[in-house]
Structure 1
Amino acid sequence: MTTVMIVDDELFIVELYRDILQLRGYKVVATAFDGEEAVRKYAASPEKPDVIIMDHRMPVMNGVEATKEIIRSKPAQKIIFVSADVLIEKDARDAGAAEFLPKPFRMDDLIEKMRNVSAS
């Protein structure tokens, strides 16, 4: 079973992603509400998630900075970056994101990205 960490500053979004992913057979092992919390939880976790879904605009530390920190500690970590700001895609990919998903999107699009990174 593919394990997932969800990082977004909106509780409703975290819960929506979690519910949809669990219905599709994924196991959500961690959530965080800003980039700094994500980096801290990631570092403290003995078992790293297979995939991280990372939002961009968050308080304390944004998604690009959090992605850089996580990739620095584990270069092979698979991160799906989500943002309404399509101009941030290059920065997200340069930081190490495997996939970019522009908001708004359909949940089927997220599941397709999950399949893509899980298979790679």
Structure 2
Amino acid sequence: MEDESSIAMLYEELLEAYGFEVVGVAKNGEEAVTKYKSFSIKPDVIIMDHRMPIKTGIEATEEILAFDKNAKIIFASADETIKQVALSIGALIFEEKPFDNKTLIEDINQLLGS
């Protein structure tokens, strides 16, 4: 879930190049929660940005995990001071922006157990 469309498009292209299917992109935290709840088959991994309009990544992560405690969330932010909060509420991995593509793919594979 990334509010900057150019970055979201880069994530999408990267993930598809590695064979992953992107099932949704949200422009803000509220949309992220709404989309997640609407999926009959939940995504295997969520990449959550911190600074988003309407609801922050922290708020969206809390709501998604309250709805589905098994959601696997990679939290991404340029603000490392938010790392402990993100991990304490249930994000499984924190990536400080900017991060390299290889690291993101490794994180996803780690969460998928492959």
TM-score bucket (shorter structure) = over 0.9
* 1:119 matched to 2:102: no
Indicate which of 28, 33, 36 corresponds to 2:22.
28
The whole-number CA distance in structure 2 between the counterparts of 1:56 and 1:35 is 9
User: Which residue does 2:39 correspond to in 1?
Assistant: 45
The CA deviation string for residues 60-116 of structure 1, in whole angstroms up to 9 with x for no partner, is 000011000000011011000000000101111112101000011111111111111
Q: How does 1:1-120 map to 2 (within 5 A)?
A: 7-119=1-113
Paired AA for residue 15 in structure 1: M
Query: 3-state DSSP class of the match of 1:31?
Result: coil
Q: Report the count of equivalent residues.
A: 114
Give secondary structure in 2 for the equivalent of 1:27: coil
Instruction: State how far apart, in whole Å, the 2-side matches of 1:92 and 1:105 are.
Output: 17
What amino acid maps onto 2:6 in structure 1?
F
CA–CA distance in 1 between the matches of 2:24 and 2:3?
A: 14
Q: What's the secondary structure of 2:25's corresponding residue?
A: strand
Identical aligned pairs, as a percentage?
47
- In structure 2, what is the Cα distance between the partners aligned to 1:62 and 1:43? 17
Q: Tell me the C-alpha RMSD between the 2 structures.
A: 1.0
> What residue ranges of structure 2 are gaps of 5+ in the alignment?
none
TM-score scaled by length of structure 2: 0.97
Give the Cα separation in 2 of the matches to 1:53 and 1:74.
15
